[in-house]
Structure 1
Amino acid sequence: MSTEDSQSGDNRFRRSPTGPAVAPPRGPAGQAPPPVQPPRRRRHFWSVAIFILLVSGVCIRAYRDLSQPEAWHYWKDQYVSPSLTFSLIDRVDLDGAAQGRRALFVSGTIGPAAATLFRDKLDQVNLAAGDIVLLASPGGDLNQATIMGEIIRQRSLATAVGGADASGRVKPAYCASACVLVYAGGKTRFGVLGSALGVHRFVTTRPVEDPVADTQRIAGAVLGYMTKMGVSSSIVEAMSETRDIRWLSPKQALAMNLVTDPLGKP
């Protein structure tokens, strides 16, 4: 083999058939070649798949929860269109009583989320013991009303039926049906002259197997609640007499101990 053949053999991978010799790329001496990165497409696919499963699980659970009418009504009342409205009054004047006290004016229908909204608002305005909850409501959810009354009693707040003008002077209003249970929660229950308290028989609105037994159960629960709040059992008798609203006279409300501190002559 000639020298030319030998060189030709050594350079057969470095010589271009149509051009000059091309040397293969070489890294620095002693340096390892860069590692080969595995494809990331598979890892990305599983991340997306897990995320979709998690979101789907949350959506399915939320759908199941909100598919119940009670849950939907509660969600709507709390987040979409609350049935109660609240206004803080810095200084309330109840015909010379409770001057300088703060008051939270609560008006509207007592909806499925009323107790939660009420508690959150009380936490926000930070009423002190002896401050007043002013009520003006046609009633609503019985269970929510009892919870609201329990909250009022736990915080040693007073109650009154009425609205208030810009100066803080209380004007007459009415409180009927379940609203009376909220009013009964007051440690002191002011009787505003001209305001009205209305009661009636409580009945369930959902289908039940024995309506009579269910009505008796509700009456027993109302009696237990009113007795706990210091109201005479005669109020339950007044409730049971009619399904229509019965407006109590100031003397009747005072005799039942529903009103504990009348303002003006009953």
Structure 2
Amino acid sequence: MSTDDSQDGENRFRRSPTGPAVAPPRIPPGRAPTPPVQLPWHKRHFWTVVIFILLVAGVAIRAYRDLSQPEAWDYWKDQYVSPGLTSQVIDTLHLDGSSRGRRALFISGTIGPAAANWFRGSLDQANLAAGDIVLLASPGGDLNQAAIMGEIIRSRSLATAVGSADASGRVKPGYCASACVLVYAGGKARFGVLGSALGVHRFVTTRPVDDPVAEAQRVSGAVLGYMTKMGVSSSIVEAMSETREIRWLSPKQALAMNLVTEPLGKP
């Protein structure tokens, strides 16, 4: 590089519009730049292992805190270990004894704390279409999960019925009680199978609360809002509030409450 080029370069550096003129760093002749200091390999490996152990320990502690809660363990058990519900796809379900049938998913068992997520997956696998049937047989279970299941049924425009089915697809009477009634109420059409029973009762919380009366009122309000949304008469909440024991609705009562919308036998 010529002297002129060097001077031009320095002048260009000094004329930088972004700040004051600063001379570029210079390395004395014959002196090599000092290499960066590096830790020995075994020390670098040691600190990598330490950081990894700390990260794993943090995740393990958080997981332990989560799973140490009874409700968390109940959820994981219901989701992955032993679900309270079982399902069976019925290719052709004959509701009224006629030759015309519909595809159905038979759900039976207790509604657990992870039931809604499990139910959504079962519906996806069953590949039901709008108008197909969810056949229910359950003593009830988790109220919140039941309401979510009912919302899923309504969002897919599915129908509901109570009972079970034999090998030929003929419906046999069954029962749906407590929280199961909320799942049943999610049906866009709700078939009343002759001989099947719907049972309701007052819902109570099993967890400790500061004000049990206020909590009971909150639950009743939530159930009333849900049932009204599904097109069921508010009189069903009155029937629920009358007793903590199961009250079995007669076919006429279920029809008058609009809980059953499609009776398959004379009520």
SS in 2 for 1:87: strand
Query: How far apart, CA to CA, are the structure 1 residues paired with 2:129 and 2:236?
Result: 29
Cα deviation digits, residues 208-266 of structure 1 (max 9, x gap): 12211111111111111101000011101110110000000011100110000011111
Query: How far apart, CA to CA, are the structure 2 residues paired with 1:161 and 1:80?
Result: 27
| 1:77 and 2:73 correspond | no
Once the 2 structures are TM-superposed, how far is the Cα of residue 96 of structure 1 from its aligned partner? 3.8
The farther-off stretch of 64-73 and 139-148 is 64-73
Counterpart amino acid of residue 61 in structure 2: I
Counterpart amino acid of residue 125 in structure 1: A
Counterpart amino acid of residue 54 in structure 2: L
Counterpart amino acid of residue 156 in structure 1: S
Query: How far apart, CA to CA, are the structure 2 residues paired with 1:96 and 1:204?
Result: 41
- Equivalence for 2:181: 180
Query: How far apart, CA to CA, are the structure 2 residues paired with 1:204 and 1:59?
Result: 31
Once the 2 structures are TM-superposed, how far is the Cα of residue 99 of structure 1 from its aligned partner? 3.0
| 1:171 and 2:150 correspond | no
RMSD: 1.5
- Equivalence for 1:112: 113
**Superposition pairs for residues 2-81 of structure 1, below 5 Å?**
39-81=40-82
Cα distance, 1:98–1:251 mapped onto 2, change above 3 Å: farther
SS in 2 for 1:99: coil
Query: How far apart, CA to CA, are the structure 2 residues paired with 1:156 and 1:122?
Result: 12
Cα distance, 1:97–1:223 mapped onto 2, change above 3 Å: farther
- Equivalence for 1:29: none
Gaps of 5+ in 2: 1-38
Runs of 4+ in 1 over 6 A off after TM superposition: none
8 Å CA contact retained: 1:92, 1:98: no
TM-score (norm 1): 0.83
8 Å CA contact retained: 2:95, 2:101: no
Number of equivalent positions = 230
Gaps of 5+ in 1: 1-37
Once the 2 structures are TM-superposed, how far is the Cα of residue 39 of structure 1 from its aligned partner? 5.0
The farther-off stretch of 228-237 and 98-107 is 98-107
Once the 2 structures are TM-superposed, how far is the Cα of residue 68 of structure 1 from its aligned partner? 1.3
Once the 2 structures are TM-superposed, how far is the Cα of residue 50 of structure 1 from its aligned partner? 2.1
Once the 2 structures are TM-superposed, how far is the Cα of residue 123 of structure 1 from its aligned partner? 1.4
Bigger radius of gyration, 1 or 2? 1
**Identity over the aligned pairs, expressed in percent?**
84
- Equivalence for 1:243: 244
- Equivalence for 1:20: none
Once the 2 structures are TM-superposed, how far is the Cα of residue 43 of structure 1 from its aligned partner? 2.5
SS in 2 for 1:85: strand
